[in-house]
């Protein structure tokens, strides 16, 4: 018997007769011939394999409360056959869960914390996905008199001065982190005010809105959750439009090298779909009462970051980050395997003007953090790093591999001592 299978058992008969060996497998206490056993085994293993085709996404209550997951996940599952199980908590808790290996993908909205997650080795690479904005809502009486104010910091300072009730999530979520940053700018010590006019719920966005509207308090919330929230009472948006209220969401594949239990292939498929044109279109198509809740921006900068973005190739980004090929950390075609986003307003001027002036094409600049900028030709969708340009026969630095159509046919690697021509 090998592994529960009895091999070469002879059938009954007289000694010396040659018998054809048979193969029997014991399943559930019964011996079955090989053909029958194969059918039964496939029937047993098939559902088990299908049940294992799921991933765990550590995400935020704001995305769940908005209803976006209910809109996009069935589309992904229908295409890929992968079930997505969402753990919706505050961003801080989601990051801690993922750092413990309790998830395959991280989908949250606190860029600095996400980038630290990757820098610490718990994530493979971070990518922008979509954005909306935060708003401050308040009661009809507006006791602090902040309605219509354009500056969030000044409005919060006025709320503190009036000691008007303010309900905070207090849960280390992305919304809470953003709110604390604004209080710090306003010079208000909310820790000292906790339990007085400043109330911390320790709950998700929906629950905090319920508490805030119930006590007549001001609340800072993401716009998507507020639009989808059904218990507004008399509360309304009193402060909006401040660039400081920009709310960017990012996605990270949890690092399988650090956490061996991560389903890297299934997680990669989800990340790539979210960043693809199909995934981005699914996000853009989600509306409540005819209003779009999230604005996809994978591969482009948001409207509050000082640079008008343009679409770039995103499909396969997670795969390239997981399995970089080519020289060093650069992927195929000289593209970086993982490109962290530039901070708001960061736009060095080198490389792009030269490309646009020589080739006569529109060049968008996308941040590479400490690695400099990489110019991208919209015609060819090919990038080169500023530190590793490749020269054509005219000696002009430009992206290698596919050049812009009608400009150059081939690109040559520059010799170290070759002068410009």
For 188-207, the pLDDT digits (tens) are 999 999 999 999 999 989 99
Asked if residue 138 and residue 35 are part of one domain, the reply reads no
Q: Please report, rounded to a whole number, the percentage of residues in the chain having pLDDT higher than 70.
A: 59
Judgement on whether residues 207 and 107 belong to the same structural domain of the protein: no
pLDDT at 142 over 80: yes
Q: List the domain range (segments joined by +) for residue 34.
A: 1-7+21-47
H/E element, 366:
strand 363-367
Q: What average pLDDT does this structure show over 330-341?
A: 36
Q: Tell whether 240 is covered by a domain.
A: yes
pLDDT for the residue 208:
95
pLDDT over threshold 60, residue 259:
yes
Residue 299's pLDDT band, with cuts at 50, 70 and 90, is confident
Q: Are the CB atoms for 289 and 230 separated by under 8 Å?
A: no
Q: Is the pLDDT of residue 58 over 90?
A: yes
Which range has the worst mean pLDDT, 206-215, 249-258, 309-318?
309-318
Same structural domain for residues 269 and 373? no
Instruction: Output the pLDDT for position 48.
Output: 56
Whether the per-residue pLDDT at 397 is higher than 80: the answer is no
CATH of the domain at 163: 3.40.190.10
Strand partners, 33: 24
Beta strands in 77-196 (DSSP E): 83-89, 105-108, 123-138, 166-168
Which residue, among 358, 355, 247, has the nearest Cα to 303 in the 3D structure? 247
pLDDT score for 326: 37
Q: How far is 236 from 147, CA to CA, in rounded Å? A: 9
| Mean pLDDT of all residues in 385-397 | 37
Residues 66-79 have a mean pLDDT of: 96
Q: Which residue has the higher pLDDT, 393 or 301?
A: 301
Average pLDDT score, the chain: 73
Do 234 and 150 share a structural domain? yes
In a domain, residue 338? The reply is no
More reliable by pLDDT, 271 or 394: 271
Q: Are residues 144 and 241 in the same domain?
A: yes
What is the distance between the alpha carbons of residues 98 and 110, in angstroms, rounded to a whole number?
14
Q: Residue 3's pLDDT is what?
A: 43
pLDDT at 6 over 50: no
Clarify whether residues 211 and 356 are in a common domain.
no
pLDDT higher than threshold 80 for residue 374: no
Give me the percent of the chain exceeding a pLDDT of 90. 55
Q: What is the mean pLDDT of residues 354-377?
A: 33
The pLDDT of 367-381, averaged and rounded, is 35
- Number of independent structural domains in the chain: 4
Tell me what pLDDT residue 309 has. Answer: 33
The average pLDDT across 119-146 equals 97
Note whether residue 29 is domain-resident: yes
Residue 169's φ and ψ, nearest 5 degrees, are -65, -40
């Amino acid at each position: 018997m090998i592994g529960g299978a009895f091999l070469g058992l002879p059938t009954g008969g007289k000694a010396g007769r040659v018998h054809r060996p048979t193969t029997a497998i014991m399943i559930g206490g019964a011996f079955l011939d090989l053909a029958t056993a194969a059918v039964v085994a496939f029937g047993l293993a098939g559902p088990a394999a299908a049940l294992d085709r799921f991933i765990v996404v550590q995400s935020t209550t704001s995305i769940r409360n908005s209803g976006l997951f209910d809109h996009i996940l069935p589309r992904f599952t229908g295409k890929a056959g992968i079930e997505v199980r969402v753990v919706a908590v505050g961003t801080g808790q989601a990051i801690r869960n993922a750092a413990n290996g309790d998830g395959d993908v991280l989908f949250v909205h606190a860029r600095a914390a996400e980038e630290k997650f990757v820098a610490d080795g718990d994530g493979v690479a971070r990518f922008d996905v979509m954005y909306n904005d935060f708003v401050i809502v308040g009661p009809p009486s507006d006791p602090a008199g902040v309605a219509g104010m354009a500056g969030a910091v000044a409005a919060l300072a006025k709320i503190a001065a009036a000691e008007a009730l303010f309900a905070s999530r207090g849960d280390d979520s992305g919304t809470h982190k953003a709110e604390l940053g604004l209080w710090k700018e306003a010079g208000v010590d909310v820790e000292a005010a906790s339990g007085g006019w400043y109330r911390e719920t320790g709950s998700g966005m929906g629950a905090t809105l319920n508490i805030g509207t119930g006590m007549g308090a001001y609340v800072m919330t993401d716009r998507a959750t507020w639009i989808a929230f059904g218990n507004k009472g008399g509360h309304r948006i009193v402060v909006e439009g401040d660039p400081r209220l920009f709310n960017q969401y990012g996605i990270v594949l949890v690092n399988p090298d650090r956490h061996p239990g991560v389903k890297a292939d299934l997680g990669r498929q989800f990340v790539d779909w979210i960043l693809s044109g199909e995934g981005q279109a699914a996000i853009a198509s989600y509306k409540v009462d005819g209003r779009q809740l999230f604005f996809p921006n994978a591969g482009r900068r948001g409207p509050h970051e000082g640079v008008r973005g343009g679409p770039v190739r995103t499909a396969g980004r997670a795969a390239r980050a997981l399995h970089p090929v080519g020289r060093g950390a650069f992927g195929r075609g000289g593209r970086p395997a993982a490109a962290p986003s530039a901070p708001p307003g960061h736009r060095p001027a080198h490389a792009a003007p030269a490309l646009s002036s020589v080739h006569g094409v529109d060049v968008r600049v996308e941040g590479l953090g400490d690695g400099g900028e990489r110019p991208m030709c919209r015609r060819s969708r090919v990038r080169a790093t500023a530190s590793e340009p490749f020269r054509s026969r005219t000696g002009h630095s430009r992206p290698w591999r596919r050049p812009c159509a009608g400009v150059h046919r081939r690109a040559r690697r520059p010799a170290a001592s070759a002068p410009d021509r």
